C-alpha cells in the first residue's frame, strides 16, 4: 500500500496550458503539503493544509491553486503554465506536531 501517492509521475505540457496534480494519503494524517524542487534540488514549501484548511501559502504565483476536498486529498492546479514552472512537485503529509513528513514519489513537470 502506497502511503502518499501522487498522479501523474510525469507530466509534459505546453506553455499556457492548465494542469492538475493529484495527491492522496492513506495514513490518516491531518496535515498535507506541496513542495517544489527546482533543478538545483532545492525544496521549497508552497502550501500546507491542516484538516482541509489552508495554513501556509508561501510566495507562490496565484496561478497555483491548491484544493483539499477532504483531509486525505490535496490537489494542485496550475493555470497558464510557464517554462519556469518546470520542476518536481512533491506532496507530503504528517501526523502531528514534530512528526516527520511522508512524501509522495514526486511529479516531474516539464513545460515546453
Partner 1 sequence: AQTVTQSQPEMSVQEAETVTLSCTYDTSESDYYLFWYKQPPSRQMILVIRQEAYKQQNATENRFSVNFQKAAKSFSLKISDSQLGDAAMYFCAYRFTYNNNDMRFGAGTRLTVKP
What are the residues binding partner 1 (CB under 8 A)?
A: 30-31, 33, 35, 40-45, 48-50, 55-56, 88, 90, 92, 94, 96-103, 105-106, 108
C-alpha cell at 55: 495554513
Q: What is the DSSP string of 77-104?
A: EE-S--GGG-EEEEEEEE-STTPPPEE-
Residue 50 or 86 with smaller CB distance to partner 1: 50
Measured CA to CA, the distance from residue 81 to residue 101 in angstroms comes to 28
Residue 15 or 43 with smaller CB distance to partner 1: 43
CB of 15 to partner 1, least distance (A): 24
Amino acid at each position: 500500500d502506497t502511503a502518499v501517492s501522487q498522479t501523474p509521475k510525469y507530466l509534459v505540457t505546453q506553455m499556457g496550458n492548465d494542469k492538475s496534480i493529484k495527491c492522496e494519503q492513506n495514513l490518516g494524517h491531518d496535515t498535507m503539503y506541496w513542495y517544489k524542487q527546482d533543478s538545483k534540488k532545492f525544496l521549497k514549501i508552497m502550501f500546507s493544509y491542516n484538516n482541509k484548511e489552508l495554513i501556509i501559502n508561501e510566495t507562490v504565483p496565484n496561478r497555483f491553486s491548491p484544493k483539499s476536498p477532504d483531509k486525505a486529498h490535496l490537489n494542485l492546479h496550475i493555470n497558464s503554465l510557464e517554462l519556469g514552472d518546470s520542476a518536481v512537485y512533491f506532496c507530503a503529509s504528517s501526523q502531528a506536531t514534530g512528526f516527520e513528513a511522508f512524501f509522495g514519489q514526486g511529479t516531474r513537470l516539464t513545460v515546453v
